[in-house]
Amino acid sequence: MGNCPTCSYSGGYSISNGKIISTIGDGHVPIQDKSNSNGNPVKVVYFDSMTSMAGKKNDVADDAEIKPDQDTTETDSDVQLRKNSKTSEERRPAVFSEIVKFDENDDITLPSYPKSPEDEQLIRDAIGRNDFLSKIISGTRLDDVVPAFYMKEVSAKETVIKQGNEGYHMYISISGKYQIIVNGKITEQFDDVRVFGELAILYNAKRMATIKAITEGKVWVLDSNVYQKITQKHNIKEADEIMQFLLNNKTLNVIGKDALQIMSTSLKTEKFLPGAVIVKQGDKGNKFYIIRAGTVTITKDGEGVVGVYKKGDCFGEIALLKEDCRKATVTADQPMVECLTLARKEFIDIFGEMGEIFQYVYVDKPKSSITEARVEYEDVDLNDDLDLVGTLGVGGFGRVELVRHKQRAELQFALKYIKKVDIVRMAQQEHVFNEKNLQMKCRSQFIVRLYRTYKDKKYIYFLMEACLGGELFNVLHKQKNKRFDEDSAKFICACVLEAFDYLHSRGIMYRDLKPENLVFARNGYIKLTDFSFAKEIVDRHKTYTFAGTPEYVAPEIVLNKGHDRAVDYWEYGIFVFEMLTGKTPFRSNDPNNYKTYTKILSGIESVQFPTYMGIRPRNLIEKLCKTVPSERLGMQRGGVKDIKNHKWFSGWDWQTFKNCEIPSPFRSALINSNGITNFPKYPKDYDIPEDETSGWDEHF
């Protein structure tokens, strides 16, 4: 692998889309250029939200007029719940792992290593005992995972995994004795069969401990890129299979392929033991079934057995289209039956009644012509027209300065500049183009504006809107009990919803909502910033990148099932919860995030809501955080309007709000006109980079 260069960063400036990039607020991190064991590139980014861009990291002054909390009474259980939660004010790093995408026509050949039946059972049992893995690896996915493990012998004193390194393998100990070392101290020894290093299969997470062999031993190993191949193979196969089932149904295939595609993502899996009555003649029909495995027997009163249905056959589809009574009884045969199901209520939530489905139009479908990036302030010359006011932030690859126009003093900007040599060294060219193009397309009062870019031989420059009112994260943690009163929370959440409405209508999903990525404008309104994880996505197509902040990520990201803009609505539900409680519902004290991901997969139903939270916001959160993406509020036929029309926003004048005519409960904390008093003081930059003239930025 060779020597890894070490870079020193200040302020946690986020750089992404190289092969491996790490950003952190303090200290040093190794920057490594790796490939996985099969030579396929894996792009990994660790983001710390200490980033200072376009007015980020601008704390509201202590004497800022922030609306105080309303008097809300906490019960003893609420107090205990808050104490038990992780309430650290540390900013939460986000994770981005870009996996190589396979096309439906690609030959995804999976490795298979010989094993005895006992070996296979050992692997199955080890995965089954792991709370986290048992939720993401089961069924046919488990059947493919088991053969992909290979044996590795370890010698005494060998380090199997090392704390701080990025992980590319998951292990199961077979024999030998091992010790767990954290920060140089031995915390545990083990010689049993157990899984370790499992987070590596989701993304190349940094190891939180060292595992060292005390004696000779053996371990089973699974490569992360192999696991990604397995999940993608199953995703493709499952999607094709379900779509074919629906297309073969003569009743449903008339509604059109686009609608069927949406329906296919809404199906749930149900299993029935032999002899179980799935539907009974005469009962009111409220669910549609597709047989995925096994057979069922069809009987009618007075006629006996009239047929047998097998894999791929459907029944109950009339229940989706109109209220109807079952015409026959369906019973599960030996050994078991697995069905894909869709309830009538969920069908209507998505499409409406049958008469509407033929005219079905996806309400929030992106506009056919996405806004093109448009340059503003073309007359502003980088060298001749701008005066430096002060530094807003410092990063390892550049700085953000507050600048003022020389002739028009009322014009202030945040000028971000990045060293070109570092962009090339970290292979970030595509990333900076993507971030530029997406943010420059946005023309919303709820999103930080990128006006134009510049370049010279040493840097690329982003001329952006300077939001100097403070970062939401800091304001949140200044509140009593570190949470907002309901009116303030509602105002903040309305700002975010308008930003999402704007992005989604233009085919952009955001994927990293959290207080750290929101800033206050002068008028007290909130603006979305940091487009590091934003992505353009077409209609209902999905992407397989692991992207987001762990306690905010949606279950489909953890499961690597592919995701679309539905993840933003899941994150929005988590965000509403945090604004009202000061914490997120799935957060844990586990530094590996295993417990966080396990909680996420358990669903919002497992969350203990505080008693002081009202019924309406709780109902909104529960509807946003549905496990099935297509069932989330915002993903159904009404689109984002379903959220705006929710009872929690009852009486909210959205048009007046969109025009920024509703007074903000927050007041700008600026003390003087230049705005730098809310920022830390930074030393001058004396590091002048060498020229970079390869020409990659010709059209930047």
Is residue 660 left, alpha or beta, with left meaning phi > 0 and alpha meaning psi from -120 to 50? Answer: left
Q: Which pLDDT belongs to residue 186?
A: 96
Residues involved in catalysis: 512
Look at residue 128 and give its three-state secondary structure. Answer: helix
The dihedral formed by the CA atoms of 467, 514, 553 and 438, expressed in degrees to the nearest 10 = -10
Pairing of the two strands 6-8 and 268-272: unpaired
Q: Which pLDDT belongs to residue 67?
A: 32
Q: Which pLDDT belongs to residue 397?
A: 64
Q: Dump pLDDT digits (tens) for 411-429.
A: 999 898 999 998 898 777 8
If you average pLDDT over residues 144-155, what whole number do you get?
97
Element (H, E) at 339: strand 337-343
Pairing of the two strands 20-22 and 43-47: parallel
- Residue 455 bridge partners (DSSP): 460
> Is 416 a known ligand-binding residue?
yes
Please choose, from the candidates 86, 21, 16, 92, the residue with its C-alpha nearest in 3D space to the C-alpha of residue 50.
92
Pairing of the two strands 178-182 and 185-190: antiparallel
Q: 629: which residues sit within 8 A by CB, 6+ positions away? A: 265, 554, 556, 563, 564, 566, 567, 570, 635
Give yes or no for a contact between 546 and 511, defined as CB atoms under 8 angstroms apart: no
List the end-to-end C-alpha distance of the chain, in Å, as a whole number. Answer: 33
Beta strand segments in 50-203, E: 94-98, 150-154, 159-161, 169-175, 178-182, 185-190, 195-196
Pairing of the two strands 94-98 and 178-182: unpaired
Read off the pLDDT band of 395 (50, 70, 90): low
Read off the pLDDT band of 258 (50, 70, 90): confident
Integer Cα distance of 17 and 54 in angstroms: 20
Give yes or no for a contact between 312 and 290, defined as CB atoms under 8 angstroms apart: yes
Please choose, from the candidates 357, 665, 349, the residue with its C-alpha nearest in 3D space to the C-alpha of residue 493.
665
Q: Which pLDDT belongs to residue 75?
A: 58
Q: Which pLDDT belongs to residue 373?
A: 64
Integer Cα distance of 578 and 590 in angstroms: 19
Q: 177: which residues sit within 8 A by CB, 6+ positions away? A: 189, 190, 191, 213, 214, 215, 217
Q: 283: which residues sit within 8 A by CB, 6+ positions away? A: 325, 326
Mean predicted lDDT score pLDDT of the chain: 81
Element (H, E) at 121: helix 117-129
Integer Cα distance of 541 and 253 in angstroms: 20
Q: Convert 511-547 into a string of H (helix), E (strand) and C (coil).
A: CCCCHHHEEECCCCCEEECCCCCCEECCCCCCECCEE
Residues 249-357, CATH architecture? Sandwich (2.60)
Give yes or no for a contact between 183 and 163, defined as CB atoms under 8 angstroms apart: yes
Greatest CA separation found in the chain? 93
Read off the pLDDT band of 253 (50, 70, 90): confident
Q: Using a pLDDT cut of 70, give the percent of the chain over it.
A: 79
Domain 469-667 -> CATH class: mainly alpha
Comma-separated ranges of CATH 2.60.120.10 domains in the chain: 117-229, 249-357
If you average pLDDT over residues 215-242, what whole number do you get?
91
Comma-separated ranges of CATH 1.10.510.10 domains in the chain: 469-667
Least confident range from 84-88, 215-219, 349-353: namely 84-88
Other beta carbons less than 10 A from residue 298's beta carbon: 19
Superfamily (CATH H level) for 117-229? Jelly Rolls (2.60.120.10)
> Is 398 a known ligand-binding residue?
yes
Q: 149: which residues sit within 8 A by CB, 6+ positions away? A: 113, 115, 123, 172, 220, 221, 222
Give yes or no for a contact between 586 and 596, defined as CB atoms under 8 angstroms apart: yes
Element (H, E) at 621: helix 615-624
> Is 393 a known ligand-binding residue?
yes
> Is 394 a known ligand-binding residue?
yes
Integer Cα distance of 690 and 419 in angstroms: 9
Read off the pLDDT band of 467 (50, 70, 90): confident
Give yes or no for a contact between 10 and 478, defined as CB atoms under 8 angstroms apart: no
> Is 285 a known ligand-binding residue?
no
Read off the pLDDT band of 592 (50, 70, 90): confident
Integer Cα distance of 441 and 444 in angstroms: 9
> Is 272 a known ligand-binding residue?
no
Q: Dump pLDDT digits (tens) for 595-639.
A: 999 999 999 999 999 999 999 999 999 999 999 998 999 998 889
Read off the pLDDT band of 113 (50, 70, 90): very high
Output the pTM of the full model.
Answer: 0.73
> Is 580 a known ligand-binding residue?
no
> Is 582 a known ligand-binding residue?
no
Read off the pLDDT band of 89 (50, 70, 90): low
Least confident range from 179-193, 584-598, 664-678: namely 664-678
* Cis, peptide link before residue 665, omega less than 30° from 0: no
- Residue 154 bridge partners (DSSP): 217
> Is 396 a known ligand-binding residue?
yes
Written as six digits, the tokens of 309 are 């249905």
